Amino acid sequence: MISKKQSLSEKSTPLTPIRLWPGVAILLLQWFVRFGIPIIIPGAFSFGVLGGVAGGLVIVVWWAFFSRAPGIERWSAILLMIIGLVATSQIIDVSIATAGRGMFFTIYAIPVLSLAFIIWAVVSRRFSVKLRRITMVLTILIACGVWTVLRIDGITGDEGANFSWRWAETSEERLLAQEKNKTATPITTINASEKETNWLGFRGSNRDGIVNGVQIETDWSNSPPLELWRHPIGPGCSSFAVRGDLIYTQEQRGNDEIVSCYNLTTGEPVWQHRDAARFYDSHAGAGPRSTPTISGENICTLGATGILNLLNAGDGTLIWSQNIAIDNETKHSGWGITSSPLIVDSVVIIAAVGKLVSYDLATGDPRWFGNDGGDSYSSPHLKIIDGKRQILLMSGNGIISIEPISGKQIWEYKYPCESRILQPAFISDNDIMVNAGGKKGIRRISVTHESDQWKIEELWTSTRMRPDFNDFVVHKGHVFGFDGPSLACIDIDKGERKWKGGRYGGQLILLADQDLLLVLSEKGELVLVEANPNKYSELAHLRAIEGRTWNHPVLVGDILLVRNTSEMVAYKLALRES
């Protein structure tokens, strides 16, 4: 006769133990491919994503056919996973639902669910049947449901995510609360003074990120940057324009896009111009993407939804306003309208996604409309080639050259990719460095004018530097920029790599007189690196600003301005003695 104790034991123990080792092995391989390889090999994110999803499918196959689990557990687990993922996808935060073109939840949730399920299978192998099945259901529901209490506050350059609790207050909400509770103080108008502290727009007057005439101390242990002020700011990818004692930038506050003017010395507000508009994408967050452009006594700005303004630089008075999206029947692409205005003589030229358009500087009336060149997040760039002044735009189709006043096409170079973000860099009057787009490489082309014909020749293409949204600079026969998150140097003759080092991401400025790179990393660190082709050498390092930082830094004289989506900071740098 079988005892009661024996009977209970048989009911609580499976007749055949679950074959766990294949599931554990698949999980380890899945996580290595999904998260390890993209760290080791920058640019392998797509491969990692495929590996993560494929690993999840292989785990399902193992569980269904090779695990030796009871049939009811095998098929109910798979059905519950499908139901859990589908149901969760309907109630997650918009930041997760729309990230990665709607694929973020899938490519992150599958590896997480795989991990949770394998851990459950290992831990529960000695549980009773009832307890094992209850914990299986709870494990799947929790692994799926945890995504409903999270949000992402932006995507990093290597496709990582900054997670927060869904209910946590955002930096923008904190700023709005402070603004609401703050006692109103009159904003003082300051006349912009003509001083040498001028930075007229995106990446400087020439849009190349190169500073001449300034040399700084590089021993920050003895002469560290001095913080002058630090203030909260609304979200946006805008950098700064500087004229005299005034600095200009763009930000988002609630449902208003704002052009802001601050005092350079104190960081205190001088004036604000508001437009009822809000753009958001889960990668960069809310807010304008462009940088103001200074023209004489005025500034020109472009918002992420297409609002083009000309404002008085002293008090923010609106001179005229247009909406380029409406004028051009252009729908903004996934990351908003990002072009910074370019002012040439009597016209304002901007990129309406991949189409160059022009407005009269004095009246705001449309002057000309170019052809659609494909997706673009780049800005128009003024260049003189073979004595002819022209506007270049990098776009999904390649590069297009336009005559600035008439809008007539001069030449076009077909070099298709999904989209382009960066500015071209110039080696000489004729040779141009362009990026391949999507971390695929960099190319040198030569543009010449012979017998009324424009000739474009490809000199070389290199994968030894693969910039994506991080601009690069040309200096003394070499290109300094980013290969994924790492800083790199290649020569301009063949595109061969000289060195690679430092995982910074972010943006950089070249102090040309000093052979020095000033890097503002994606993590908000300031780094000094020698612009030396013979070796990688980091000279100084400082935590400057908190949070993910994509905004370009600005250096005017000895004042360094940095910002991101939550705060802005000014530092005074010690200058090197002559």
Q: 328: helix, coil or strand?
A: coil
Of 193-207, 492-506, 552-566, the least confident: 193-207
pLDDT of residue 327: 86
pLDDT digit string (tens) for 286-325? 999 999 999 999 999 999 999 999 999 999 999 999 999 8
pLDDT of residue 326: 87
Are residues 425 and 479 in contact, defined by beta-carbon separation less than 8 angstroms? yes
> Could you tell me which residue, 274 or 332, shows the higher pLDDT?
274
pLDDT digit string (tens) for 374-402? 888 899 999 999 999 999 999 989 999 99
Q: If you ran DSSP here, which 8-state letter would residue 183 be given? A: P
Closest Cα to residue 341, out of 410, 387, 293, 389?
293
Q: 338: helix, coil or strand?
A: coil
User: Stretch 130-148: mean pLDDT, rounded?
Assistant: 96
Q: What's the one-letter identity of residue 439?
A: K
Question: 317 phi and psi, to 5 degrees?
Answer: -60, 135
Report residue 360 as tokens.
């009269």
pLDDT of residue 197: 64
pLDDT of residue 2: 43
Question: Is the pLDDT reported for residue 47 higher than 50?
Answer: yes
Number of other residues whose CB lies within 10 A of the CB of residue 403: 14
Q: 248: helix, coil or strand?
A: strand
Highest mean pLDDT range out of 7-16, 212-221, 433-442? 212-221
Residue 23 confidence class, pLDDT cut points 50, 70, 90: very high
What is the widest separation between alpha-carbon atoms in the chain? 107
pLDDT digit string (tens) for 195-209? 556 899 999 999 999
Question: Is the pLDDT reported for residue 578 higher than 70?
Answer: no
Beta bridge partners of 478: 475, 491
- Alpha helices by DSSP H, listed for 41-146, are 45-61, 71-89, 94-97, 104-123, 129-145
DSSP letter string over 296-326?
Answer: TTEEEEE-TTSEEEEEETTT--EEEEEEHHH
Q: Residue 256: is it exposed, middle or buried by C-beta count within 10 angstroms (0-12/13-18/19+)?
A: middle
Number of other residues whose CB lies within 10 A of the CB of residue 90: 8
Stretch (H or E) spanning 176: helix 171-181
Are residues 442 and 490 in contact, defined by beta-carbon separation less than 8 angstroms? yes
User: Stretch 159-177: mean pLDDT, rounded?
Assistant: 90
Question: Is the pLDDT reported for residue 154 higher than 90?
Answer: no
Going by C-beta distance under 8 Å and a sequence separation of 6 or more, which residues neighbour residue 262? 231, 246, 247, 248, 249, 268, 269, 270, 568
d(CA 365, CA 376): 24
Question: Is the pLDDT reported for residue 11 higher than 60?
Answer: no
Question: Is the pLDDT reported for residue 9 higher than 90?
Answer: no
Q: 552: helix, coil or strand?
A: coil
Helix axes 104-123, 129-145, angle to 10 degrees: 160
d(CA 541, CA 544): 9
pLDDT of residue 440: 82
Q: What's the one-letter identity of residue 274?
A: R
CATH class of 171-572: mainly beta
Question: Is the pLDDT reported for residue 8 higher than 60?
Answer: no
pLDDT digit string (tens) for 414-442? 998 877 889 999 999 899 999 887 778 99
Residue 12 confidence class, pLDDT cut points 50, 70, 90: very low
Question: Is the pLDDT reported for residue 118 higher than 50?
Answer: yes
In the block, tokens 């430092």 appear at: 502
Question: Is the pLDDT reported for residue 7 higher than 50?
Answer: no
What is the average pLDDT value for the chain, to the nearest integer? 91
pLDDT of residue 6: 45
Q: 210: helix, coil or strand?
A: strand
Are residues 215 and 514 in contact, defined by beta-carbon separation less than 8 angstroms? yes
Question: Is the pLDDT reported for residue 334 higher than 90?
Answer: no
Question: Is the pLDDT reported for residue 412 higher than 80?
Answer: yes
Number of other residues whose CB lies within 10 A of the CB of residue 460: 13
Pairing of β 388-395 and β 381-385: antiparallel
Number of other residues whose CB lies within 10 A of the CB of residue 559: 18
Question: Is the pLDDT reported for residue 185 higher than 70?
Answer: no
d(CA 384, CA 370): 19
- For the chain, the structural domain boundaries read 11-165, 171-572
Q: If you ran DSSP here, which 8-state letter would residue 514 be given? A: G
pLDDT of residue 332: 64
d(CA 97, CA 110): 15
Residue 183 confidence class, pLDDT cut points 50, 70, 90: low
Question: 374 phi and psi, to 5 degrees?
Answer: 95, 170
In angstroms, what is the C-alpha Rg of the chain?
A: 27
d(CA 18, CA 427): 64
